[in-house]
Structure 1
């Protein structure tokens, strides 16, 4: 007769076995590489499906075709994947040689938004018209440029960083200039993401707490000043606190985001069956695509998406801790800080936990300006994961085995040919 104690012991053994299997999988040398590729691929596939669903009404109204925006998103993904592949093959020396030119180009593009080429949308002058219907958001490229430039500068000064002047100059003034341009565009959401990745880089290099507090205080005062001196931002802030207080005006988007999430329940209403995308929820295919995910895939779907971004964060921390190269460690931390912060700020706004920031959900929201730099950054993460000592050894062993197999196959073919001739 089985007792409760025996049942408990069996359950404990199963849990222990499951945890041991999980540890075994995580300890494999190429786990980081496979997780980055797998999670990124899943998010891209989900993004294409959800953009197709969420944009169908707006696409039909604007272009007369329900599939136009989804096809454009597919085009951006198709352009970004080769870019990510190139990033996986870039030598570190070549990558680091381009960090200053990348920052200069990003700076010039940000400045151009203050010229007649700049385009103002929803109160933010953060778009640049390239010609015809094509526009780009320079601040998205600036995130990538700032991460790589900051990692390069701090890595070169690694042995001097105990002196505050070397810790601060030139990284903090350079980052401050980029932040000032983005704040000048009145894009507080992107400025918050840039500020987050700067904090991550400073944290990883061991910045004393007093410098952290000073930096956070200065930026916090500046953001507060910009928020309270703009009627548009104040309306957004007030609508975040109570979207139903001004439901028909500033609270409309936040309220309908909550309606969509509430309608989804546990399992959602099914892909393609969202009601909010039919003109009720503004920016359903861009900044508020997470609300459509919640409506169509339910709480389970939103938790899966959150879990995938947290997995990327875990893998980034894992790669940063295992690498032997300072630049790789800093670049990995900065990229992960950028993508994770942007995802959490976007989700927080959709869930009503944060003010509406107007930034997209990485890899999922519609748009090429954010897609291309993000895919390039993920390609770099794949490259860094392949450079982990254990991963490098495993890949070298795999290459040697393949070379030996090819040599053996050639030998067999030659032997067979000689036998046939005889």
Structure 2
């Protein structure tokens, strides 16, 4: 009974809810299997069950975030994006100077909250706030002709500030965010020639950044540039002497999986592959579940993408459409990038597999974005429900009117005498006499 009550409180697109639940449930097996690398590593205690419980707690918290966020009217996020963007800039600046390293990476991308010891990647929050900000601006100016100067000041300067603060520590996230912003602008019917101007400015700015890194090689802000170049040229990693170690281990895992896989928990490369439970978890999935398992996971993400398209099409406001596209599409592209890295189609980027890879802040930010998307679909569901209820009320009112008319006719008919028929009209008989 409680389960039915809980499900009745879940509003919005039930298909999206189902896909999220499937991805979350599937994640437990590969995370539990791949966590042996962490449990028996240098800093591990040999307790793999602890990592599974931790992953369960992260997912549980994530779905609570979805539930809470999907109850908030999504148009409130218009204001939240404007207020949140300066706050995000402050967090990104703080991360540049006070950020911490996690997982052995040489990039300071995480900010640790004092007293509670929780670390989160500030670029994940920045991406969500920035996408909503862009959607808000484009929906506001859709019916008004916009000059490039006006849009550059109000739209692109905030975008470039945000990306510039993320770029020194995380090129892949910066590039993904820029591509997504351009895509949102295209969908929002921002003029193509203006998009061309912005892309030219972005490429010029990146070249200037790389040139400054060569001029000041000892600066902390340019320490990642050589790593980017190495990854692009060799598909390498962060650590010197291990340029191809991760990708070779991932390819070995995929090749070992064949068609049906080695079986759950029987991965061999999990003991050797760094980040096997996060960045390279797709390789472990293919090794244990084979090509079939890999295609099933890919299919789930593509079906989720298709559902996002339907949700965007059904949205009754331009802001709702752009919010679904701006928050839903990056999640799918992130998943595709993670899979492409595992099969060496792309250089190592550090992008996790949404809802499947282990990690706290990445799961929570993903769930926050999904909560907003479901919020939009909930609004459409409420409108549809209101229309159905209005139709039922109108039908009930019409039946009541029909019944009243029938009752009135039955009440009037016995007194409807004819003057010509004296047998039925007593007054006529008196007159005739």
What's 2:118 paired with? 134
What's 1:239 paired with? 234
Shift of the alpha carbon at 1:210?
2.3
SS of corresponding position for 1:250: coil
Worse-matched range after superposition: 254-263 or 374-383: 374-383
1:180 to 2:173 alignment: no
Distance in 2 (alpha carbons) for counterparts of 1:398 and 1:355: 53
SS of corresponding position for 1:184: coil
What's 1:417 paired with? none
Shift of the alpha carbon at 1:380?
1.6
1:266 to 2:259 alignment: yes
Shift of the alpha carbon at 1:314?
1.3
Shift of the alpha carbon at 1:158?
2.5
TM-score when normalising by structure 1: 0.79
Shift of the alpha carbon at 1:399?
11
Gap regions ≥5 residues in structure 2: 1-9, 215-224, 393-433
What's 2:398 paired with? none
What's 1:256 paired with? 249
Shift of the alpha carbon at 1:336?
1.6
1:113–1:127 contact (8 Å) kept in structure 2? yes
What's 1:310 paired with? 302
2:37–2:276 contact (8 Å) kept in structure 1? no
Shift of the alpha carbon at 1:31?
12
Instruction: Please give the per-residue CA displacement for 1:190-215, whole angstroms capped at 9, x wherever unaligned.
Output: 11221122112101111222222333
The structure with the larger Rg is 2
Gap regions ≥5 residues in structure 1: 1-29, 402-422
SS of corresponding position for 1:113: helix
Alignment of 1:228-377 (within 5 A): 230-240=225-235, 249-278=242-271, 280-377=272-369
Shift of the alpha carbon at 1:116?
3.1
Alignment of 1:85-234 (within 5 A): 85-119=67-101, 121-131=104-114, 134-185=118-169, 187-223=170-206, 230-234=225-229
Name the CA shift for 1:123/1:247 in 2 (closer, same or farther; >3 Å).
closer
Out of 26, 44, 50, the residue aligned to residue 63 of structure 1 is 44
What's 1:17 paired with? none
Instruction: Please give the per-residue CA displacement for 1:32-83, whole angstroms capped at 9, x wherever unaligned.
Output: 8122111111111122322111112312333311122222221111111111
Shift of the alpha carbon at 1:276?
0.6
Name the CA shift for 1:236/1:323 in 2 (closer, same or farther; >3 Å).
same
The alignment covers a number of residue pairs equal to: 366
SS of corresponding position for 2:85: helix
Worse-matched range after superposition: 83-92 or 149-158: 149-158
Instruction: Please give the per-residue CA displacement for 1:287-323, whole angstroms capped at 9, x wherever unaligned.
Output: 1111111111111111111111111221112222222
Distance in 1 (alpha carbons) for counterparts of 2:39 and 2:206: 35
Name the CA shift for 1:51/1:232 in 2 (closer, same or farther; >3 Å).
same
Supply the RMSD in Å over aligned alpha carbons.
2.8
Worse-matched range after superposition: 221-230 or 44-53: 221-230
What's 2:411 paired with? none
Alignment of 1:360-399 (within 5 A): 360-388=352-380, 392-394=383-385, 397=388
Distance in 2 (alpha carbons) for counterparts of 1:74 and 1:370: 14
2:74–2:376 contact (8 Å) kept in structure 1? no
1:239–1:254 contact (8 Å) kept in structure 2? no
SS of corresponding position for 2:48: coil
Distance in 1 (alpha carbons) for counterparts of 2:78 and 2:140: 10
Distance in 2 (alpha carbons) for counterparts of 1:341 and 1:224: 25
Distance in 2 (alpha carbons) for counterparts of 1:168 and 1:301: 46
Out of 38, 53, 59, the residue aligned to residue 77 of structure 1 is 59
Shift of the alpha carbon at 1:360?
0.9
1:343–1:362 contact (8 Å) kept in structure 2? yes
1:34 to 2:14 alignment: yes
Shift of the alpha carbon at 1:223?
4.7
